Amino acid sequence: MKSKGFSLIELVISMAVLASVGLLVMATLARMLKPGQKAADLSTGVVVAQSVMEEEVHAILSGTGTMSKIDFWTNDSPPSSPITGNITVGGTDYSYRMDYRTVRDETTGDPLGGTELEKQAKKVDITVWWWNATAEETREGYGQLQTRTTQLFLYHPSL
């Protein structure tokens, strides 16, 4: 006499096949969502970099920053180390570094516009990174998680 139903071995095999298919679908979905999260973090990183640029340079030029306005205009890079900080946005910690240099002629090395401050320009770079201890590190599956914004500033005595 033939039984109507599945044997225990058939049931175990079908459950194993279903579990394998389920894991494959979940892994595929996880891989598809990863670039979307990186893009969202990158967009936020750009906004953070622009915000930091405005805040740090405004603080220096208004006399409330970590360095004086005259030190900013007469020196290249911070004397001891770059200006750094951290900001948390949407639960993600973003670290930043601000570097700056006088714009110089590549041939002579002289400041473009001459030696008078009123004719010089500063190039300010803000590098923002997240999920890593340093901007140079990479994260497996994501790569290097950083963005940079650059802006030129012209000296103005009343700023």
Given a cut of 70, is residue 3 above it in pLDDT? no
Q: What is the pTM of this model?
A: 0.68
* Arithmetic mean of pLDDT over the chain: 82
Region 97-118 average pLDDT: 85
Q: How confident is the model at residue 1 (pLDDT cuts 50, 70, 90)?
A: low
- The 10 Å Cβ neighbour count of residue 128 is 26
* Rounded Cα gap, residues 46 and 26, in angstroms: 31
Q: What is the pLDDT at residue 80?
A: 67
| pLDDT at 123 exceeding the cut of 80 | yes
Q: How confident is the model at residue 141 (pLDDT cuts 50, 70, 90)?
A: low
Domains of the chain, earliest start first? 33-154 (3.30.1300.30)
| All residues at 6 or more sequence positions from 12 whose CB lies less than 8 Å from its CB, including other chains | none
* pLDDT single digits (tens) 14-61: 899 999 988 998 888 777 766 677 777 788 889 999 999 999 888 988
Q: Which two tokens stand for residue 50?
A: 């622009």
